[in-house]
Chain A
Amino acid sequence: DAGVTQSPTHLIKTRGQQVTLRCSPKSGHDTVSWYQQALGQGPQFIFQYYEEEERQRGNFPDRFSGHQFPNYSSELNVNALLLGDSALYLCASSLRLTSGRPHEQYFGPGTRLTVT
């Protein structure tokens, strides 16, 4: 049973460009969350998807957008890249919220994005 997979592993982009990161959740999971982790810091919540809709969003600008497909896989898109967008982007899958209680999140290996 494959866990959470992400692609690509590493990516180098130039300021102003656009990037798309991909995530396949763990089998049986229907909820995908995206996080940005800068070096030496904790993961920062970007947004969460289930039933193909964005359900929650963190404090990130509209340059960050996403999508969830019918097979529960997800994409994170970032437009007009800034140097400060350089970070590890983590995808986490889980079961959806149950009775107000979150389930454990399974993280993928991440995509290391470098903006030059």
Chain B
Amino acid sequence: GQQVMQIPQYQHVQEGEDFTTYCNSSTTLSNIQWYKQRPGGHPVFLIQLVKSGEVKKQKRLTFQFGEAKKNSSLHITATQTTDVGTYFCAGFKAAGNKLTFGGGTRVLVKP
């Protein structure tokens, strides 16, 4: 079945630094969504990417969908303590009509 994997599993970042987390699917995706889950909270929708090679920005967050629509990345610049949490990608394959979540990247920020 479809598998979505994220690396790294953990990301320790110094406040003010940049980092990137990656999402890879075993199959070609129709769309990909990104969610953020704060400690003790529930996933909150961040963005959806649809087109091959698409790049979207939200303030300090940059999301990219790969040309082959099998991978995606999230890049955060000038990390802040408010960025703490687990970031999940979720792939959608039209034939399956369901979202498959990756295992997440847990981000810890050192002040």
Residue interface bits B12-43, CB-to-A below 8 A is 1, else 0 = 00000000000000000011010100000111
| B6 CB → nearest A CB, Å | 8
For A45, the chain B residues whose CB sits under 8 A away are 98-101
Is B92 interfacial (CB-CB < 8 Å)? Answer: yes
For B1, the chain A residues whose CB sits under 8 A away are 59
Is A55 interfacial (CB-CB < 8 Å)? Answer: yes
| B84 CB → nearest A CB, Å | 16
Q: Are A56 and B42 in contact (CB under 8 A)?
A: no
Known: A42-B102, A42-B103, A59-B1. A104 touches B97 (CB 8 A): no
Tell me how many residues of B have a C-beta within 8 Å of chain A: 25
Nearest B residue to A97 via CB reads B97
Query: Footprint of A on B, CB under 8 Å?
Result: 1, 6, 30-31, 33, 35, 41-45, 48, 50, 88, 92, 94, 96-104
Nearest A residue to B4 via CB reads A42
Q: Are B30 and A100 in contact (CB under 8 A)?
A: yes
| A49 CB → nearest B CB, Å | 12
Q: Which among A43, A44, A101 is the interface contact of B30 at CB below 8 angstroms?
A: A101
Residue interface bits A96-113, CB-to-B below 8 A is 1, else 0 = 010011101111111000
Residue interface bits A40-61, CB-to-B below 8 A is 1, else 0 = 0111110010000001101100
Q: Are B31 and A105 in contact (CB under 8 A)?
A: no
* A69 vs B37: C-alpha distance when bound (angstroms): 29
Please tell me the size bucket of the interface on A.
Answer: 20 to 34
Q: Are B88 and A102 in contact (CB under 8 A)?
A: no
Q: Are A41 and B42 in contact (CB under 8 A)?
A: no
Q: Are B88 and A42 in contact (CB under 8 A)?
A: yes
| A88 CB → nearest B CB, Å | 8
* A41 vs B100: C-alpha distance when bound (angstroms): 12
Is A78 interfacial (CB-CB < 8 Å)? Answer: no
| B79 CB → nearest A CB, Å | 22
Q: Are A55 and B97 in contact (CB under 8 A)?
A: yes
Is A90 interfacial (CB-CB < 8 Å)? Answer: yes
